[in-house]
């Protein structure tokens, strides 16, 4: 399948593995890229820019296909060393960067001068238009269904994607709720040029996370995510567990007096405990409603091949059948 996204990134299939904290290691990115998608290393999971440089080199040893690096710009008093992170990406020969969080304008000139394509994650049309205006090559449009931070507008992808198609001139991919061939075809129908999957890729054989995490996703339904930190206007969609329910009880009890310090035990330093050690009740970790569509733990190649086969069947048989009047329910 050829789309503006496959052509831009030099990949076989229009499927991107989004940057995920303590998931986007070299093993994950290489597995997705080797399967024909675009794998992404999560930059801020690496403790230092040198560690990131090492992870990029490791990924290059594991695949000769294109892969990218996620750089998330955090609103913090002690920001990471972004210039050194960007240098590690450029020196490592990476050709795609996924930016997220705050406006990436500060690093765009350096990335573009190095011939790097930039795709920015956005949760609204207005942010997508801003990304286009500052020179991003593409955007990843995140609907309300997505795991992680869906923004504060609460617009799901059935509305957000067509709105993006109406407004944008640059290509975009869908993100949030993407799991299978149906997701891909629906995204293409609404104007996207591909899809970004996060939660679905955690439940794969190669995902470098504890088996408890994969089994929790498979066991979850679409009703098992929660929205936390809404009172702080830093909304995050997470999978429910004892720590998350405890956090929500604090939010309810404290109301508009809630401060980040009140919930720090449930949100700070949680990812290593869950992703690496499998302590599933430790606290909040990002997970999308798409967990309700995840029933197995395939390899990345099996997953991507299945998605593309499903998409082909839907486009060339089911939808074509409707036009011919030959398809029943």
pLDDT in tens, 120-158: 999 999 999 999 999 999 999 999 999 999 999 999 999
Q: How far, CA to CA in Å, does 123 sit from each of 17, 26, 149, 154, 195?
A: 17, 27, 8, 9, 14
- Predicted pLDDT at 76: 77
Alpha helices in the chain (DSSP H): 4-9, 26-34, 49-62, 82-91, 108-113, 125-134, 157-167, 181-189, 199-202, 211-219, 242-254, 264-267, 270-271, 300-313, 320-324
Rounded to an integer, the average pLDDT of 273-287 is 98
pLDDT of residue 325: 82
Q: How confident is the model at residue 105 (pLDDT cuts 50, 70, 90)?
A: very high
Q: What is the pLDDT of residues 174-211, one digit of tens each?
A: 999 999 999 999 999 999 999 999 999 999 999 999 99
Beta bridge partners of 121: 140
- Domains, the chain: 4-208 (3.20.20.70), 211-289 (no CATH)
Which pLDDT belongs to residue 329? 61
pTM of the full structure? 0.96
Residues 6+ apart with CB under 8 A from 39: 17, 28, 29, 30, 31, 32, 33, 59, 63, 65, 67, 68
317 contacts 204 by C-beta, under 8 angstroms:
no
Task: State the Cα–Cα distance between residues 74 and 78, nearest whole angstrom.
Answer: 9
Q: Mean pLDDT of all residues in the chain? A: 97
- What mean pLDDT do residues 66-92 have? 94
Which pLDDT band, with edges at 50, 70 and 90, does 77 fall under? confident
């Amino acid at each position: 399948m050829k789309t503006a996204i496959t052509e831009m990134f030099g990949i076989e299939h229009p499927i991107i593995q989004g940057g995920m904290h303590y998931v986007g290691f070299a093993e994950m990115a290489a597995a997705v890229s080797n399967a024909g998608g675009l794998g992404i290393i999560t930059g801020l999971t690496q403790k230092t820019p040198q560690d990131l440089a090492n992870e990029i080199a490791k990924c290059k040893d594991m695949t000769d296909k294109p892969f990218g690096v996620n750089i998330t710009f955090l609103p913090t008093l002690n920001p990471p060393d972004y210039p050194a992170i960007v240098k590690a990406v450029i020196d490592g020969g990476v050709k795609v960067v996924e930016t997220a969080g705050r406006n990436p304008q500060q690093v765009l000139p350096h990335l573009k001068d190095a011939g790097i394509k930039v795709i920015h994650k956005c949760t609204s049309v207005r942010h997508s238009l801003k990304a286009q205006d500052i020179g991003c090559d593409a955007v990843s449009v995140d609907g309300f269904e997505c795991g992680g931070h869906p923004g504060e507008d609460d617009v799901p992808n059935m509305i957000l994607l067509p709105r993006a198609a109406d407004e944008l001139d640059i290509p975009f991919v869908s993100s949030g709720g993407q799991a299978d061939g149906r997701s891909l075809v629906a995204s293409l129908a609404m104007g996207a040029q591909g899809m970004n999957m996060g939660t679905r890729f955690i439940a794969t054989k190669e995902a470098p996370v504890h088996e408890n995490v994969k089994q929790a996703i498979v066991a979850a339904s679409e009703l098992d995510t929660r929205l936390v930190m809404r009172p702080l206007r830093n909304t995050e969609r997470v999978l429910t567990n004892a720590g998350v329910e405890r956090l929500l009880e604090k939010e309810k009890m404290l109301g508009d007096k809630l401060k980040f310090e009140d919930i720090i035990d449930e949100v700070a330093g949680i990812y290593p405990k869950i992703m690496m050690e499998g302590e599933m009740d430790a606290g909040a970790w990002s997970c999308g409603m798409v967990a309700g569509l995840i029933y197995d733990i395939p390899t990345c190649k099996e997953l991507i091949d299945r998605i593309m086969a499903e998409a082909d069947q839907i486009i060339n048989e089911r939808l074509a059948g409707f036009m011919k009047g030959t398809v029943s329910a």
